[in-house]
Chains A and B, each alone.
Chain A
């Protein structure tokens, strides 16, 4: 039994961890410094002092970095953590002292990360997250793994005394991925998105290099592109090459995200662990689950493969620190995990879903026609038949809108709201009505004239809008949700 009320130091591995951080943060600058040296214009008169100048420059630079980052390297001397009554405290800093106090009851997630250094030294990075800010408030870069696990368990026990009797026998493994699952995940990844990430990265780096060493990388690219003959073979080769790169990149992304992915169900919490180079572990008590969502693109939908997210308090969809994301490989598993949040998913009760009104599509068609048809006619004056491309785009948008209208389904029961939407893929969201913060009813002049309204449901940190309900349905649903919040 460990006592947490006495101040403790982190593991001495924090020296190495800090040094690693410093090297990682400086290596980019050193690389640029080396590039500048390599590409600089030769000045015959200064050859003798060249070596000395660069030695001083690099030495001075390293000294500056060490000074600025000394807090990280020497964190062991100045970092302490302990528990006082119902809060955990972390003090740190050499020049700028900081003291973080977190109420145990406000802790949303507990994360344990292990990179290679941590694994070799049996330590970990320990992170406590509340809903208070974008970044985690409590971070210890190196803590003994046993200590981290004991502290994790201790905090959860304090949150719920029932847990005091919890033991390892009550742990149930509910998810681990097979080789086939990885293959499906890799194939069904969004390769176009991967390609865009690569392009953005390459452009960003080219711009960096251009600015730092005065090379006109864009000019170089443009010159060479203009020289190249655009033939069908060249274009096909380029597309195949881009596709291959993006598939490889997607595969790496999937492996980094989901390698050795495991989900455990303990008595009162879910626990996730994953990672190839950096092993990460997160836990979230069932009581902190605010709402859940899952999504699948077209291909994943066909394979019953979903990405499930369990959202914690008061942060948006994009803040990954506060939601748990996991690949789920069957509907049965999805139901099993969701069961902890809601005994029965509204869509599984056999009740018929409510759709949205067709005016959602007609209005888009009317407004789109007013914009796209004159635009096509106008552009045809200059571009002749090529202007038909605008009409084709409009056609695609119309089809997408119609499919979106058909796919929009809502199940509202007295205990929960479920929403399913999407054009080619599907996104689902389920929220227990007692977690809803507030509701808004929104109407445009067109909607008022025709008796429609949008219902906006505000959740902790996020909001979902159900468009084009009949005005009466929207009002009834708003009243029902308000009543459930009060009960």
Chain B
């Protein structure tokens, strides 16, 4: 005899993720994103300068310099613009049973990770993060490459607290809603 059951689920009774207001990440992280892009394009500019000095023939130096300058400045401009937009679109939310994290501007990705599936978490800090008092929280699941998420731009204290909360199994410190409290009290 099988114990298999397959009860009907009504869409209107399902808890929706779409109504959840996502929490913005720390404003200082916008500066980190901008600085990261500036550093990247500075390195590119230095490489172009080295090539200009040692590899480019004298007769081509002028046009090479102009092209490189236009390329670096437009790349930097685009990088800063996309960083700003990506920052505005980035957000996270913690629900009783899952973590929601949204990232990306042109190509947006919304991760929904059930707390049950979290294996472990790591708090990471880059030198720029340390400079601005920030940290990233990397959440590992048992899934494939696309299943792990990194919530960047959290205040260090928030990242630590979030990590501690996520690693409770099952999480028990979540504040109960009024309905749940009433139900528990009978």
Binding site for B on A (CB under 8 A): 313-314, 316, 343, 413-415, 437-445, 448, 456, 458-463, 475-476, 478-480, 482-483, 485-486
A71 → chain B closest CB, angstroms: 34
Cβ B146 vs Cβ A440 within 8 A: yes
Chain B nearest CB: distance from A389 CB in Å?
32
Whether B114 lies near A458 (C-beta < 8 A) is: no
Q: Are A478 and B17 in contact (CB under 8 A)?
A: yes
The reply to whether B108 and A475 form a contact with Cβ atoms under 8 Å apart is: no
The answer to whether A437 touches B141 (Cβ under 8 A) is yes
B6 touches A414 (CB 8 A): yes
Contact call B143/A442, Cβ cutoff below 8 A:
no
Instruction: Tell me whether B98 is interfacial, beta carbon within 8 Å.
Output: yes
Q: How far is the CB of B101 from chain A (nearest CB, A)?
A: 10
Decide if A461 touches B143 in the complex (CB within 8 Å).
yes
Q: Mark B145-158, 1 if CB is under 8 A from A, else 0.
A: 11100000000000
Could you list 13 examples of A-B contacts with CB < 8 Å? A343-B2, A413-B6, A414-B9, A438-B113, A438-B147, A440-B109, A444-B107, A458-B143, A461-B142, A463-B143, A463-B144, A479-B14, A482-B112
- In contact, A441 and B6 (Cβ under 8 angstroms): no
Tell me the complex Cα distance, A485–B2, Å.
Answer: 21
Q: A483-B14, A486-B97 are in contact. Are A440 and B144 (CB under 8 A)?
A: no
Residue of A nearest to B116 (CB): A485
**Closest residue on chain A to residue B146 by CB atoms:** A463
Chain B interfacial positions (CB closer than 8 Å to A): 2, 4, 6-9, 11, 14-18, 97-98, 106-114, 116-117, 141-147
From B6, B18, B141, A458 is in contact (CB under 8 Å) with B141
Taking a contact as CB atoms closer than 8 A, the residue among B2, B17, B109 that contacts A482 in the complex is: B17
Give Cα A445 to B6, complex, Å.
38
Partner of B8, one of A414, A442, A456: A414
**A414 contacts across to B, CB distance below 8 A:** 6-9
Instruction: Check if B17 sits within 8 Å of A456, measured CB to CB.
Output: no
Query: What's the Cα separation between A486 and B106 when bound, in Å?
Result: 32
In the complex, what distance in Å separates the CA atom of A105 from the CA atom of B181?
Answer: 38
Provide the bound-state CA to CA distance between A459 and B4, in Å.
22
A451 smallest CB distance to B (angstroms): 13
Given A460-B143, A480-B11, A480-B14, 10 more pairs with CB closer than 8 A: A414-B9, A438-B111, A440-B111, A441-B112, A458-B141, A459-B143, A460-B144, A461-B142, A478-B112, A486-B116
Q: Find B106's partner among A313, A415, A444, A462 (CB 8 Å cutoff).
A: A444
Whether B144 contacts A462 by the Cβ 8 Å rule is yes
Known: A458-B141, A460-B142. A437 touches B147 (CB 8 A): yes
B106 neighbours in A (Cβ, 8 Å): 444-445
Q: 3 shortest A-B CB distances, which residue pairs?
A: A437-B143, A458-B147, A458-B143
With A438-B112, A475-B16, A476-B14 in contact, do A482 and B147 touch (Cβ < 8 Å)?
A: no
In the complex, A314→B145 CA distance in Å?
Answer: 11
A441 touches B109 (CB 8 A): yes
Q: Name the residue in B7, B112, B113 with the highest tally of chain A Cβ atoms < 10 Å from its Cβ.
A: B112
Asked, given contacts A439-B112, A441-B110, A486-B114, whether A479 binds B15 with beta carbons under 8 Å apart, the answer is yes
Which residues of B lie under 8 Å from residue A485 when comparing CB positions?
Answer: 114, 116-117
Give Cα A440 to B148, complex, Å. Answer: 11
Contacts known (A440-B111, A475-B18, A483-B14); A461 close to B144, Cβ less than 8 A: yes
Q: Which residue of A lies closest to B5 (CB)?
A: A415
A211 vs B143: C-alpha distance when bound (angstroms)? 43
Q: Which residue of A lies closest to B96 (CB)?
A: A486
How far in angstroms is the closest Cβ of chain B from A162? 14
Nearest Cβ on chain A to B13's Cβ, whole angstroms: 9
Q: Which residues of B contact A415 (CB under 8 A)?
A: 6
Whether B9 pairs with A458 at a CB distance below 8 angstroms is no
Assess the B4–A343 pair: CB atoms within 8 A. Answer: yes
B17–A479 touching, CB < 8 Å: yes
Give the docked Cα–Cα distance between A480 and B9 (Å): 8
Contact residues in B for A462 (Cβ distance below 8 Å): 144
Q: How far is the CB of A87 from chain B (nearest CB, A)?
A: 20
A480 to B8: give the CA distance in the assembly, Å.
11
Complex Cα–Cα for A462 and B142 (A): 10
Contacts of A478 in B (CB 8 A): 17, 112
Q: In the bound complex, how far is the Cα of B97 from the Cα of A486, in angstroms?
A: 7
How far does the alpha carbon of A445 sit from the alpha carbon of B107 in the complex, in Å? 7
Assembly CA distance A67 to B93 (angstroms): 60
Q: How far is the CA of A479 from the CA of B11 in the complex (A)?
A: 9
Complex Cα gap A482–B99 (Å): 11
Question: From residue B33, how far is it (CB to closest CB) to chain A in Å?
Answer: 20
User: Once the chains bind, are A448 and B108 in contact (CB under 8 Å)?
Assistant: yes
